Each structure stands twice: as structure tokens, then as C-alpha cells.
């Protein structure tokens, strides 16, 4: 039952929310704010399926808190500020708070922190900001950023599946399905990828990967391969496609195929390293 809900709810909710925001708020404002539907659809479905509770006592429960905080920050930038500097500030704030909470288990850790913790927090912040910066750079092409983010989520799902962690695996698939639902609407009605998606879905993906790394240290070598997927668009653009309208339909398939190669490699590495 949980598996069925996990596969149906995020796609259906995101589809409905995206359409409602776009149609209800109008062509300009609705399109700008519709990205919030991705994380909203994922979050509601995730809470219904897994019932994680209100307290983020462990990495899996913190996924929802990080997703909600990042989505709200991204939505604030999309709705009110709409400036590039605001994107950078919002990303830095989300990443810093999430890194501290993930490493220490609380938003208000006792200071001073051990050097090991500070080093880990600094490394997580640098890595997370690099990932978000890459997604931000890809956002100019809605198809590219949605496909790549969804494929990275599926790669995390595959690694979690190899580690026999069903909740994390299904959670990652749920995020991919929410992104896919937004992509369906975007294929019919032009929709941008705003900060609610770049920060919201990006931070959610990072939270899933962190939960996987924290719960299953043996698969960490496989997780190191996931950043390769963020550059799949360069290779996909070199694949010759027919000079016709069908090329617009073929390119997402080609891009997913190129991104799928590191996915398969990461799953194979996880199979070898996981007990």
C-alpha cells in the first residue's frame, strides 16, 4: 500500500498543484510561483506515506524539514525579491542551516564544536553550494534541469535500493515523480524553473543523499559518482537528432539515457561495497 501511494500521490498532487497555481494566479505570476508545487506535492505525499513525525530526530525525518525550509526560501525569492543576489543569500542560508542540523542533529548546537564537526560542516556546505550552483546554471532550459535532477534522485533511489533501505529509496523516487509531473505541465504550458525548484528540490535531493550517506556508510563511494550526472547535458547535446519537431521529444530521452550511465555505475559500485 505504501509503495502504491508513494508512486501515485507525489505525481498526482504536483500535477494538480502546478495546474492550479498556473491557472489560478495567471500567466505571469502563476508561472513564476508554480515551481512551489514540486516540493509541496512531494512533501504532502511523503508525510502521508511515511508519517515521520514533527521532530527531526534523525536524517530521514530531517528530509521534510529541509525540503520545507528550502521551498519557502525559494518561494520568497520567486514571489517578492526576484533578484540574483537574493538567490545566493537564500541558498547560503538554507545550506548552512541544513549542514549544521545534519551534522550536529540540532539547530542550536553547543559551541565551540569539535574541529572534526566544523570540517564536515564546511565540506558539506561547499559541496551543496556547488550542486545548487550547477542546477542554477541549468535552469535556463526547463527540460534539462528537471530531467537531470530527477535522474539524480533516481540514482539515489537505486543506491538506497541496493542498501535495502526501502523508505529512502521510495522517497527519492517520490521526488523524481514530482519533478516529472511539473515537466508534464511545462511541456504543455511554458513554465520556468524558479528558486522554489532549484533550492527546494535541490536541497531535498541533498537531504536524501545525506540521509543515505549517514545511514549506510558503505555506499558513500557510489554517492561520489552522482555529481557526474549534473554534466550529462553537454554529452547529450552532441548526440545527432533529426532536424524536425520530434527532436524536442527525443532530447529528454537522450539526456536521461546519458545521465543513466553514471546511475548504473553508481548502483554497481554500491552493490560491491554494500554489505
Q: What mean pLDDT value characterizes the chain? A: 89
- Number of residues that make up the chain: 275
Distance CA 137, CA 265 (A): 25
Q: Is the pLDDT of residue 154 over 90?
A: yes
Q: Is the pLDDT of residue 247 over 70?
A: no
Question: Is the Cα dihedral 130, 131, 134, 135 positive or negative?
Answer: negative
- How many other CB atoms are there within 10 angstroms of residue 136's CB atom? 20
Inter-residue contact 212 to 165 (CB < 8 Å): yes
Query: 75-97: per-residue pLDDT in tens?
Result: 999 888 777 777 888 888 989 98
Q: Is the pLDDT of residue 109 over 80?
A: no
Which three cell numbers, joined as nine digits, stand for 118? Answer: 566544523
Reported as a pLDDT band with limits 50, 70 and 90, residue 10 is very high
Q: Give per-residue burial for 240-253: e unless 16+ CB within 10 Å, then b.
A: eeeeeeeeeeebbe
Q: What is the pLDDT of residue 244?
A: 61
Distance CA 207, CA 1 (A): 25
More confident residue, 5 or 224: 224
Inter-residue contact 12 to 42 (CB < 8 Å): no
What torsion do the CA atoms of 40, 43, 44, 47 make, to the nearest 10 degrees?
-170
Q: What is the pLDDT of residue 107?
A: 66
**CB-side exposure of 72: number of CA atoms within 13 Å?**
9
Peptide bond into 161 cis (omega under 30): no
Amino acid at each position: 500500500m505504501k509503495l502504491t501511494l508513494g508512486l501515485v500521490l507525489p505525481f498526482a498532487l504536483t500535477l494538480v498543484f502546478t495546474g492550479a497555481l498556473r491557472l489560478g494566479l495567471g500567466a505571469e505570476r502563476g508561472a513564476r510561483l508554480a515551481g512551489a508545487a514540486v516540493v509541496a506535492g512531494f512533501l504532502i505525499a511523503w508525510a502521508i506515506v511515511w508519517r515521520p513525525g514533527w521532530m527531526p530526530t534523525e536524517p530521514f525525518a530531517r528530509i521534510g524539514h529541509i525540503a520545507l525550509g528550502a521551498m519557502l526560501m525559494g518561494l520568497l525569492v520567486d514571489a517578492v525579491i526576484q533578484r540574483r543576489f537574493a538567490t545566493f543569500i537564500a541558498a547560503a542560508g538554507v545550506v548552512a542551516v541544513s549542514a549544521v542540523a545534519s551534522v550536529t542533529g540540532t539547530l542550536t548546537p553547543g559551541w565551540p564544536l569539535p574541529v572534526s564537526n566544523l570540517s564536515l560542516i564546511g565540506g558539506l556546505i561547499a559541496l551543496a553550494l556547488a550542486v545548487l550552483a550547477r542546477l542554477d546554471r541549468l535552469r535556463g532550459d526547463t527540460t534539462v534541469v528537471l530531467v537531470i535532477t530527477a535522474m539524480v534522485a533516481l540514482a539515489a533511489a537505486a543506491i538506497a535500493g541496493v542498501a535495502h533501505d526501502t523508505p529512502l529509496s521510495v522517497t527519492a523516487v517520490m521526488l523524481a515523480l514530482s519533478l516529472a509531473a511539473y515537466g508534464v505541465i511545462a511541456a504543455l504550458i511554458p513554465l520556468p524553473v524558479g528558486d522554489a525548484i532549484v533550492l527546494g528540490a535541490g536541497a531535498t535531493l541533498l537531504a536524501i543523499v545525506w540521509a543515505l550517506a549517514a545511514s549506510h556508510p558503505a555506499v558513500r563511494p557510489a554517492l561520489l559518482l552522482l555529481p557526474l550526472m549534473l554534466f550529462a547535458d553537454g554529452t547529450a547535446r552532441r548526440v545527432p537528432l533529426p532536424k524536425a519537431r520530434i527532436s524536442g521529444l527525443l532530447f529528454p530521452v537522450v539526456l536521461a539515457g546519458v545521465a543513466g550511465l553514471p546511475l548504473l555505475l553508481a548502483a554497481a559500485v554500491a552493490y560491491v561495497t554494500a554489505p
